[in-house]
Structure 1
Amino acid sequence: MDTDAGTGDARGADARGAGAAGADGTRHADRVVVDCGLYVDGRRAPGRLPLGRAGDVARETGGFVWLGLEGPTVADVAEVAGEFGLPPLAVEDAVKAHQRPKLEVYDDVVFVVLKPVRYVDHDEVVDVGELALFLGPHFVVTVRHGKGDVLRRVREELDRGEGPAAGFGPAGVLYRAADLVVDGYESALGEIDIDVDDIEARVFGPGQVNHAERIYKLKQEAAEVRRAVLPLGRPLQRLVDGDVPHVPAEAAPYFRDVQDHLLRAADAVETVERQLADVLQANTARVTVAQSEVALRQNGDMRKISAWAAIALVPTAIAGVYGMNFEYIPELRWRFGYFLVLGVIAGACVGLHRLFRRNGWL
């Protein structure tokens, strides 16, 4: 949850802040405010700002205000937008979620969307969240959808005055959030790669189990990571180039480091997807070979059955003819007719048996 180390009872603290504001009207959006703090010279000022004062403090102070929201509605963000002058189009994107990673500049406000991911190993699924960040000259407004601890970790570092985030103001929050998100990509891909190695060993191991379902599932999860990784390249390039407001030139090397990690993650995605495609092809080949072997065995069985049926047909046909109730059947009254018929039946059956053996049917 987007909260600092000292706000484990964030909701209780919020209630106190809201109570103070309650005398002059508690805000509806207070229920989704996870934390709201003032940071001056890289350190957090004591206490927690109520939403009703956050905008004024942000405009009056030499530091910046960080307001964190979790799963807000349109009405919630509308109140916050009024306090900080957030652009309506970006507010709509932040509330609806399901956005691609991007960076947009609206006059004096920078809007950034990040897609943190985490790999749930026991289910073999990628859980994708979404972070929307509004950066102004003296404020950061973050909106979080889904699970994840990225913003909590950034706030803990910032509250302790640790890391480069403490020296870059709002840009420092963006840098550390992007850095942790990209690190999460590499971590998730590393865990996916372990599962890919496992399924590869199973495909080439003993047994004839079809692993296609699991392979397709892993391909879908790798695609989820790819959809989070690849679109982030352009926003990071803009941050490295230094053409984004409120991002000092001194922060460019830090964003360049994040960009390098992102490029590694993009290569890892490509490697995992290519490996999964090869494993799927190998699995399909093994399944096809196994099915062909079964078909061959079935064909052999059918040939044997057909051969024995053909042999059995001879005595059945002859016996059927002589079993008819006609008086004038040739050799019917001949003394040796019975033995002749048995000989014909035996000879025909032996001849067919040898013929089928020679042809490999028996």
Structure 2
Amino acid sequence: MPLIDNAVYVTGHRIDDPKSLDETYELMDRLHGMAWIGLYRPDADEIHSIETEFGLHHLAVEDALTGHQRAKLERYGDTLFVVLRPARYLDAAEEVEFGEVHVFIGPGFVVTVRHAESPNLGAVRHRLEANPELLALGPEAVLYAIVDEVVDEYGPVVAGLQNDIDEIEKQLFGGDPDVSRRIYDLLGEVMEFQRAAHPLAGMLEALLRGAEKYQVDLEVQRGLRDVLDHVLAVVGQADAFRATLQNALTVHSTLTTQRQNDEMRRISEANLTLAEDTRKLSEASIQQGDEVKKISAWAAILFAPSLIAAIYGMNFDHMPELHWVWGYPAALAAMVVMAVVLYKVFKRNRWL
């Protein structure tokens, strides 16, 4: 149900719990009290009813209906419209979940419009009801308590992000290949956290500057200053987280490049070793081929005279040139000539 909690307060005490918005308006007028209307993702009819009753600006109402607004503070006459971006750290998922809450405050009324589970406005209401002196200070006191709750919830977020960054540093120097993805994801969360927290400092300073003009109680001003101090601390931590993660990306890039260079160097050394082995093998093959050529050449040179001698050594009676007077010298000469010719041919072809 969009209407979560609806009450009218007089001098800081809860007087009644109206069952409808019309009943709330009637009690406010009759008791001259302050109404605090808590809505969760309201529909257009409820928002427009409140818009008509309290004279809210239509642009602020449109923002409250659509949501997805940046953190901001806007004043429309005697009405303030505040957008806050609460956050909470989810331990199981190790990620930050961001919410959105809109606050309208004006003379005698506070309207809160929540678009997420965070912040716990019920707890804020209970704390204020337990402190009627603070609640009696009016709508500005309620706004202070809501902003204080949002900033307090930033504490676990800062602790969770710090723990994630510590883990990333271990992954970074441990050579985890998935660390770059985690750095990018965490950097996105930190930047979103900055967008939620950074505007709060300016918003609180603006409230304090206008405190005297709009007669904000001194105690509320002190509370706002205290919240501002906490906001500045959170903003400083968020900025440091972003710088650390950006440095981590640079270191990761450097380490990745170094590992790639080392790998290329090892590959180059391996290629050089392989090339040297191939060269030696080629030289051995060439040397072996030269030896084979030499052996083959000498075998051919010796084969030619052996062929002639074998032919003329056959014991046949009817052979040509067998009874020549110059047959023997001619055979020897043929052997020598053939050997010399083969020697010169092989020498010219560099086989010898």
Asked whether the two chains share a fold, i.e. TM above 0.5, the reply is yes
What whole-Å deviation, never above 9, does each CA across 1:33-72 have from its counterpart, x for those lacking one?
Answer: 1111111111112433411222232333332111111112
The letter of the residue matching 1:217 is D
2:181 counterpart residue number: 213
2:172 counterpart residue number: 203
**1:167 pairs with 2:136:** yes
CA-atom RMSD, angstroms? 3.0
**1:333 pairs with 2:300:** yes
The letter of the residue matching 2:279 is A
CA contact (8 A) 2:99 2:119 kept: no
Are residues 44 and 251 of structure 1, via their aligned partners in 2, closer, same or farther at CA, if it must alter by over 3 Å? same
1:278 counterpart residue number: 247
Superposed displacement of residue 211, structure 1: 1.5
Are residues 334 and 145 of structure 1, via their aligned partners in 2, closer, same or farther at CA, if it must alter by over 3 Å? farther
Number of paired residues? 303
Ranges in structure 2 where 5+ consecutive residues have no aligned partner: 304-341, 343-349
Q: Structure 2 CA distance, aligned partners of 1:46 and 1:54?
A: 9
Are residues 318 and 141 of structure 1, via their aligned partners in 2, closer, same or farther at CA, if it must alter by over 3 Å? same
The letter of the residue matching 2:260 is Q
The letter of the residue matching 1:288 is T
1:42 counterpart residue number: 12
The letter of the residue matching 2:262 is E
1:347 counterpart residue number: none
Q: Structure 1 CA distance, aligned partners of 2:242 and 2:277?
A: 52
CA contact (8 A) 2:158 2:238 kept: yes
Q: Structure 2 CA distance, aligned partners of 1:85 and 1:254?
A: 28
Q: Structure 2 CA distance, aligned partners of 1:267 and 1:285?
A: 27
CA contact (8 A) 2:10 2:136 kept: no
Are residues 97 and 320 of structure 1, via their aligned partners in 2, closer, same or farther at CA, if it must alter by over 3 Å? farther
What whole-Å deviation, never above 9, does each CA across 1:91-146 have from its counterpart, x for those lacking one?
Answer: 01111212122111112211111111111233232211111111121111110011
**1:92 pairs with 2:62:** yes
What's the TM-score once normalised by structure 2's chain length? 0.77
CA contact (8 A) 1:59 1:138 kept: no
Residue number among 206, 222, 234 corresponding to 2:202 in the alignment = 234
The letter of the residue matching 1:93 is D
The letter of the residue matching 1:212 is S
What whole-Å deviation, never above 9, does each CA across 1:155-193 have from its counterpart, x for those lacking one?
Answer: 12133x227642322111100110111122233112201
2:153 counterpart residue number: 184
Q: Structure 1 CA distance, aligned partners of 2:5 and 2:163?
A: 37
Identity of aligned residues (%): 32
1:132 counterpart residue number: 102
Q: Structure 2 CA distance, aligned partners of 1:178 and 1:93?
A: 19
User: Secondary structure at the residue paired with 1:39?
Assistant: strand
Residue number among 61, 77, 84 corresponding to 1:114 in the alignment = 84
**1:63 pairs with 2:33:** yes
Superposed displacement of residue 288, structure 1: 2.2
Superposed displacement of residue 258, structure 1: 0.7
Name which one, 1 or 2, has greater alpha-carbon Rg.
2
**1:293 pairs with 2:262:** yes
CA contact (8 A) 2:11 2:132 kept: no
CA contact (8 A) 2:94 2:160 kept: no
Q: Structure 1 CA distance, aligned partners of 2:233 and 2:271?
A: 56
Q: Structure 1 CA distance, aligned partners of 2:301 and 2:18?
A: 121
Are residues 76 and 246 of structure 1, via their aligned partners in 2, closer, same or farther at CA, if it must alter by over 3 Å? farther
The letter of the residue matching 1:51 is L
Are residues 309 and 171 of structure 1, via their aligned partners in 2, closer, same or farther at CA, if it must alter by over 3 Å? same
The letter of the residue matching 2:22 is G
Q: Structure 1 CA distance, aligned partners of 2:122 and 2:269?
A: 67
Are residues 163 and 125 of structure 1, via their aligned partners in 2, closer, same or farther at CA, if it must alter by over 3 Å? farther
Are residues 319 and 79 of structure 1, via their aligned partners in 2, closer, same or farther at CA, if it must alter by over 3 Å? farther
User: Secondary structure at the residue paired with 1:45?
Assistant: strand
Ranges in structure 1 where 5+ consecutive residues have no aligned partner: 1-30, 338-343, 345-362
What's the TM-score once normalised by structure 1's chain length? 0.75
Q: Structure 2 CA distance, aligned partners of 1:208 and 1:331?
A: 67
**1:157 pairs with 2:157:** no
Superposed displacement of residue 317, structure 1: 5.9
CA contact (8 A) 1:170 1:246 kept: no
The letter of the residue matching 1:311 is K
Are residues 151 and 165 of structure 1, via their aligned partners in 2, closer, same or farther at CA, if it must alter by over 3 Å? farther
**1:72 pairs with 2:42:** yes
What whole-Å deviation, never above 9, does each CA across 1:251-300 have from its counterpart, x for those lacking one?
Answer: 11111111111111111111111222222222222222222222221112
Are residues 309 and 193 of structure 1, via their aligned partners in 2, closer, same or farther at CA, if it must alter by over 3 Å? same
User: Secondary structure at the residue paired with 2:280?
Assistant: helix
